[in-house]
Amino acid sequence: MSKLVIVESPTKARTIREFLPKDYQVEASMGHIRDLPASAAEIPPKLKGEEWARLGVNVGQGFEPLYVISRDKKKVVRDLTAALKSADELILATDEDREGESIAWHLMQVLKPRIPIKRMVFHEITREAIQDALKKCRTIDSDLVEAQETRRILDRLVGYTVSPLLWKKVAPGLSAGRVQSAAVRLLVQREQDRRGFHSGSYWDLKATIEAHAERFTAQLVTLGGVRLATGADFDESTGRIPKGKKVVLLEQQQAADLRDRLLKGAWSVKEVNEREQERTPAPPFTTSTLQMEANRKLGMSARETMQVAQRLYEQGYITYMRTDSVHLSKQALGTIRQCVMNKYGQDYLSPTPRQFRTKSKGAQEAHEAIRPAGQRMPTAEELHLSGQEFRLYDLIWKRAIATQMANAKLKLSTVTLAVEDAEFRASGKRVVFPGFFRAYVEGADDPSAALDDQETILPPLKQGEPVDCRALDPMQHDTKPPARYTDATLVKELESNGIGRPSTYATIISTIQDRGYVVKQGNQLIPTFTAFAVNHLMEEHFPELVDTQFTARVEQVLDDIASGGTEGVPYLESFYLGERGLDQQVKAKEIEIDPREIHALEVQPLSVRVRIGPYGPYLEYENNGDLVRVSLPEAMPPGDLVDEEIRHLLRQKEEGPQPLGHHPESGEPVFALIGPYGPYVQLGENGESGTNGKGAKPRRVSLPKNLKPETIALDQAIALLELPRNLGPHPDDGKAVEAGIGRFGPFVRHDGEYRSLTKTDDVLKVGLPRALDLLAQEKGRRKVEMLRELGEHPEGGVIGLFEGRYGPYVKHGKVNASLPKAMSAQDITLEQALALLSEKQAKKPAANKGAKSTRKSTSKSTPKTAPKTTSKSKSSTSAASKTGTKAAPKSTAKKKTASTSKTSKTPNKKQVPQE
């Protein structure tokens, strides 16, 4: 007999296995093994007639959740059940947060072990931590389970109740969510601020000064004893300085005249101020500060940060990455201080151990901050890490080490220079003692902000001494609109408003992107017109759901449930079934809301509205009693849709498309247009073409992905219209080899044989040698090289990441699984790959006459925006008292476990609610 230990992932299992005795068997649950049904197909046949089954929550019976084991998790459950048969003790070693507690509870409920059960938790995966955790096992905490279950049910109720209303009143396929809608509101409000912003312009002077054979710069600050205007003095709604504000506003000519006058004057030092300053290091990382700093310094999204941190944790390199505590254990303090001594010496060590206190309400001080794991804390180089794992671990290591280093000492100096009636100011900074700067300097959200360890040294100056002005340059400045949110600043805003919890920030940001409410351009998170329309409806009719204070209060309720201070069911009853409960509100709003009143934007005085339709956003306006609609570019940020741009689009609609130019031979106009199937170029007007004859359909060619209709040049368009290109004769038979664009994209062909071009090939530039190489490949197959090896499959064999014709995919044996668009090929984990492969394997149709119809049904019922399966689905419920745990959570009654029904009908993709 043996002891069975269950964790979430194979990586974590492999790491823990090294630290346990030989009679311990470690298996992975692959995240949650069951969840609320994701579609009608997962609802058990006997419950399909029940109205509440669509929700997956029986609101009339104590909010009893319906849990099902998805098809891709059945094998996991079978394997765990088989492993349990030879065990004499079960140890549930899932993560130490609420979700980990929930996974442990679900495992216990599904496996129904008849042997002793223990709950083991640890903050880091090291030999010492695992062995210590084995001695301190406990029972499942039913309060934590109940808090997680309440959150799961609450999110399901909001998503599945409000989303159908959005389909009817705005557009099909939209979704609402308790937390996502509040986050979207923040982004929309910032974009609205940008729309209402008016830029102001001002000038000043920058002087290049020389003293003691050194040069430095100084800025004009006062003129005639009055402060010079800066960007902060302008009213953002007008772009002007408010009346009554006593500042000097320089225009361009005034700045030029002032420059000429001051260059003739005598420059001298009016005042010198110096002071010393000490800087203390920032606290060690929490989940939120790690996400912020990784975004600022490494350009990593919140999702990427958490994926990489998860891998580092599971390999035993860092402590648990979901924490809101900045506490460091005594052992960690000792290890870090020893590292400082070894690497930097006694002078760089803080006089006493420096401990930090968590400011956030409800922080779990029993947890530790994120730091390198273990008693040695090796560097990234010593661990032989690479890529993003190296960069993130290095950031964590440096931040932790800096916490026990001496303060940095700076000398700050400010010099005021006088010339006639003007004053200039220069600031300097010198690092007297770098202290913790040697290891780590915190970043800033403002990309132009200087880092603390950067020096600006001024020469030794004394009051009254003359200086030379070597140059005096007028400088123009324009005030800038409020910056759009980045991952870092949105995480900061979510945390300050109490929206979600640090462990959920990455999921929130990913979800609003996956749902099409936000697009990412560079580092900016830009809300779409769809986000504006949905936010308009939510603010008008469900203001409480998008109120940040309400969202924060919900999080406090969940914290209270987790601590045993309140119960989940009474809160759910009040929220959903109360007099002003969500269920009644939605039923009333379904009658009350007029879809014609819901829009993304209303632009006055142009009397134009932006609406959302099945094919995207469009402008709508009235022209002589008729409603006219003009499609908007999908990628246009709402903040950039100014009056001038709207007028341009309206003129374009009235006047028709403007040609890029005319074909040099036929003289026909050449257009770049966008149709239902994407952008294309066209030769001739619709209905007539000199090439094809009067009344014939004009020649059209789709644009390759590397060309955009708004930037394509006339010569490029003509080259596309002249496709296919003759690349030359084939060396074997002398027949022509051609390159062109067809129904399935760019290709090369020879004697009836076609091969598709890859993403890196340009149909207008590809040559004969490359075409011959493609044609030499076996039809239907391309030379595909493994991008990287992800790890071993539990059943044996390597899982690889490849780049295919239709994008990246993972492969094990003969099973290939494409990566979803929202999943980064660069950061996909072994666990994610296993989930994709398992899902693909489960979807393979049976080899019978019904296989064809099965495939057809599956393709139609797979929603575009269906919730993605992750290694940690958020679901929880209560613990069974007979297993030795705490009392069962109050928010559950009888629990049901069911499997997917093959014969059940699946809903249309437009009717799958989103949470």
Q: HEC profile for 852-899?
A: HHHHHHHHHHCCCCCCCCCCCCCCCCCCCHHHCCCCCCCCCCCCEEEE
- Domain 170-197+487-590 CATH assignment equals 3.50.50.60: no
User: Tell me, what amino acid is at 354?
Assistant: R
pLDDT at 551: 87
Residues of the chain with CATH 2.70.20.10: 201-280+409-478
Contact 817, 809 (CB under 8 A): yes
- One of 202, 313, 320, 618 is an active-site residue; which one? 320
Compute how many other C-beta atoms are within 10 angstroms of the C-beta atom of residue 743: 7
Would you state the pLDDT for residue 640? 86
Beta strands in 110-257 (DSSP E): 117-119, 201-211, 214-223, 226-227
Instruction: Give the tokens for residue 426.
Output: 């220069």
Amino acid at position 775, single letter:
L
Hey, CA dihedral for 463, 469, 472, 478, is it positive or negative?
negative
Q: Which of 203, 198, 205 shows the shortest CA–CA distance to 240?
A: 198
Residue 432 is inside which H or E element, if any? strand 422-433
Domain(s) labelled CATH 3.40.50.140 in the chain stretch across: 2-150+875-911
The DSSP output letter for 115 is: S
Q: What is the pLDDT of residue 855?
A: 38
Query: Model confidence over 71-96: pLDDT tens digits?
Result: 888 999 999 999 999 999 999 999 98
Distance CA 144, CA 877 (A): 9
Residue of 554, 574, 572 whose CA lies nearest to 499: 554
In one letter, which amino acid is 118?
K
Fold classification of 298-355+368-403 (topology level): Topoisomerase I; domain 4 (1.10.290)
Cα 870–chain centre separation: 15
Rounded Cα distance, 440 and 399, in Å: 6
Q: How far apart are CA 676 and CA 684, in angstroms?
A: 19
Compute how many other C-beta atoms are within 10 angstroms of the C-beta atom of residue 214. 12
Q: Specify burial of residue 630 (Cβ count, 10 A radius: 0-12, 13-18, 19+).
A: middle
Which segments of the chain have a pLDDT < 50? Answer: 362-365, 447, 449-450, 688-692, 846-912, 914
User: Residue 762 has which token pair?
Assistant: 């340009």
What are the φ and ψ backbone dihedral angles of 344, each rounded to 5 degrees? -120, -20
The H-or-E segment that residue 194 falls in is helix 180-195
Place of tokens 């996956």: 514
Query: Are the beta carbons of 406 and 350 closer than 8 angstroms?
Result: yes
The pLDDT tens digits for 29-57 are 988 999 999 888 899 999 988 989 989 99
DSSP 37-56: -SSGGGS-GGGTT-GGGGTT
Q: Are 508 and 525 in contact (CB under 8 A)?
A: no
Told to judge if 571 belongs to the known catalytic residues of this protein, a careful annotator would answer: no
Distance CA 583, CA 299 (A): 42
- CATH 1.10.290.10 in the chain is located at 298-355+368-403
547 burial (CB, 10 Å; 0-12 / 13-18 / 19+) is: middle
Identify the CATH number of the domain defined by range 201-280+409-478.
2.70.20.10
Runs of H (alpha helix) within 264-383: 287-298, 302-314, 330-344
CB atoms within 10 A of CB 339: 22
Residue 560 to residue 887: CA distance in whole angstroms: 16
Alpha helices in 565-633 (DSSP H): 568-572, 582-592
The DSSP code for 696 is S
Task: For residue 462, give Cα distances in angstroms to 213, 410, 415, 458, 703.
Answer: 15, 20, 9, 12, 67
**Edge-to-edge order in the sheet of strand 64-69:** 57-58, 64-69, 896-899
Residue 116: how many other CB atoms lie within 10 Å = 14
The tokens describing 761, both together, are 């090939």
In whole angstroms, give the CA distance from residue 71 to residue 839: 8
Whether residue 160 contacts residue 606, with contact meaning beta carbons closer than 8 Å, is answered with no
> How far is Cα 521 from Cα 636, in angstroms, rounded to an integer?
11
Measured between alpha carbons, how far apart are the two ends of the chain, in Å? 43
- Give the pairing type, strands 524-527 and 601-603: unpaired
Residue-wise over 72-92: b if at least 16 C-beta within 10 A, else e? bbeebbebbeebbeebebbbb
Closest by Cα among 596, 601, 609, 600 to 169: 596
Which is it for strands 896-899 and 64-69: parallel, antiparallel or unpaired? parallel
pLDDT of residue 862: 34
**Order of strands, edge to edge, in the sheet holding 661-662?**
661-662, 669-675, 678-683, 699-702
Max CA distance (Å), the chain = 98
What class is the 2-150+875-911 domain?
A: alpha beta
DSSP alpha helix (H) spans, 197-329:
252-263, 287-298, 302-314
CA distance 710 to 695: 28
Residue written as token pair 């009908």: 905
CB 845 within 8 A of CB 106: no
CA-CA distance, 13 to 792, in Å (whole number)? 13
Complete DSSP assignment for 468-491: EEEEEEEEEEE--PPPPP-HHHHH
Alpha-helical segments (H) within 249-329:
252-263, 287-298, 302-314
List, as one string, the DSSP characters of 815-840. Answer: EEEEPPTTS-TTT--HHHHHHHHHHH
727-753 tens-digit pLDDT: 999 999 999 999 999 877 899 999 989
Q: What is the pLDDT of residue 864?
A: 34
pLDDT at site 652: 74
Kindly give, in sequence order, each residue whose CB lies less than 8 Å from that of residue 549, ignoring residues fewer than 6 positions away. Answer: none
> Any bridge partners for residue 811, and if so which?
800, 816
CATH 1.10.460.10 domain position(s) in the chain: 170-197+487-590
| Cα(249)–Cα(268) distance, integer angstroms | 24
Contact of 320 with 335, CB cutoff 8 Å: no
Residue 65 has a CB neighbour count (10 Å cut-off) of 25
